[in-house]
Amino acid sequence: MANSNASQKMRQIAESSQSSRAAHFAALGVYTDEVLHSQVLCMTYVQPERTAGGIILTHKSQDEDRFQGKIALVVAMGPGAFKDDAVAKFHGKSVKVGDWVLARPSDGMEMFYNGCSLRLFQDVDIRMRINDPKKFW
């Protein structure tokens, strides 16, 4: 059930005429649950239906983003995320809700919210903040 709902949501995002960030947030809807500790909740990036070069992506290719997508949109953060402590030092760097980030999918725990594929990461598993998710694949 979750797989088909996630596939439908991914196609909805891919076909949207909105910006990538707006399309992702629109598909997710209002998120009100609380993220704890130093966790970062991210929504998996869904590529547009058509590449910049005009190639139309197959549904299978879009579905693969769910499993192997390394780019995600920060949806919520715990109160301890990106705070220096005895375990990790962030040197003043942080991310905020709405930022695109790069993370290894296997480092996060996948879950679904409103049919959207989300992953919960430790703050130290976020590798970098990026400006344009379309530049990565």
Task: Identify each DSSP E strand in 79-124 by its residue range.
Answer: 100-103, 109-113, 116-122
Q: Reduced to 3 states, what is the DSSP secondary structure of residue 71? A: strand
- Structural domain count of the chain: 1
What tens digit of pLDDT does each residue of 14-28 get?
Answer: 888 888 899 999 999
Q: What is the CATH number of the domain that holds 6?
A: 2.30.33.40
pLDDT of residue 4: 67
Q: Is the pLDDT confidence value at 137 over 80?
A: no
pTM, two decimal places: 0.88
State the Cα–Cα distance between residues 48 and 38, nearest whole angstrom: 31
Name residue 64's beta-bridge partners: none
pLDDT of residue 9: 84
pLDDT of residue 67: 83
Q: Provide the domain limits for residue 128.
A: 2-135
From the number of C-beta atoms within 10 Å of its C-beta (0-12, 13-18, 19+), residue 124 rates as middle
State the Cα–Cα distance between residues 112 and 118, nearest whole angstrom: 6
Q: Is the pLDDT confidence value at 51 over 80?
A: no
